[in-house]
């Protein structure tokens, strides 16, 4: 696919300016959400991650 064909799907460039830094609480909440998602994926049968963890535990 030609890069010009997908240009309409790309996000606009970030505008210059001062961006707010991510706070520690924000990082912690993102981390907790990611861990919750991964844990749910590990525990869900049929998930590729579930079978990888099961295989790793069997070693």
Domain-wise residue ranges, the chain: 22-59
What pLDDT is stored for residue 10 in this prediction? 65
What pLDDT is stored for residue 59 in this prediction? 72
What pLDDT is stored for residue 14 in this prediction? 60
DSSP annotation string for 1-59:
--GGGGGGGSPPPPPPSPPPPPPHHHHHHHHHHHHHHHHHHHHSTT-HHHHHHHHHHH-
For 56, phi then psi, to 5°, come to -65, -40
Distance CA 4, CA 26 (A): 36
What digits encode the pLDDT tens for the residues 2-57?
Answer: 555 666 666 666 665 666 777 888 888 888 888 888 888 777 777 787 888 888 88
What pLDDT is stored for residue 54 in this prediction? 81
Q: Are the beta carbons of 13 and 6 closer than 8 angstroms?
A: no
């Amino acid at each position: 696919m030609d890069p010009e064909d997908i240009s309409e799907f790309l996000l606009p460039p970030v505008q210059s300016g001062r961006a707010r830094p991510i706070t520690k609480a924000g990082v912690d909440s993102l981390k907790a959400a990611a861990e919750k998602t991964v844990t749910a994926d590990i525990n869900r049968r049929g998930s590729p991650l579930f079978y990888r963890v099961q295989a790793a535990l069997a070693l």
